[in-house]
Amino acid sequence: HDKGIVHRDLKSSNIVVTAEGLVKVLDFRLAKRIGSGISQATTWTFGSHDDRSTVSGTLPYMAPEVLRGEGADYRSDLWALGVVLYEAASGAMPFGGRTVFEVSSAILSEQPKSLGPPIPPGLWAIIQRCLAKDPIQRYQRASEVQAALETVQSAAIISNDSVPDRTVPT
């Protein structure tokens, strides 16, 4: 995002962690360069002159505004990151359905099932903010999500360090 690129197809299969622990995002085929502000361009791809109604991306990761044909921007990628985080934390997708219509409808109108323990409340709050239906209510920059995740991670480390050792000496 700092380079002015919106991925537009962020999903778990496009994210890898290297042996060194570095996170890499792959597959920029649908990526789009935008200016320093929010792009007003729509997220349509044109397969031919006859078919102008194909939306770009992978449906379960598409933000509501993309499904409505509005502009995709950094916040659309942060929505997809919220889907990835939900999927990683729960092993399930936040919005489901048996058909394309049902999945689209769920993304547009439903809230994801709450993730309770063992998911830390701070992580759940981050996921919820990423999955806000209104892009204005989401994080505005990936660096904000990173800072929030680091705060949750630090709190978990401190919490684990403060738990007394209950091993019995032999």
Residues involved in catalysis: 9
Q: In this structure, which amino acid lies at residue 14? A: N
User: 77 φ, ψ to 5°?
Assistant: -65, -35
Helix ranges restricted to H, the chain: 64-67, 74-90, 100-109, 121-130, 142-161
Interatomic CA distance for residues 49 and 86, integer angstroms: 37
What 109-117 contacts at long range (C-beta under 8 Å, 24+ apart), as own/partner pairs, is 112/86, 115/86, 115/89, 115/90
Interatomic CA distance for residues 92 and 105, integer angstroms: 17
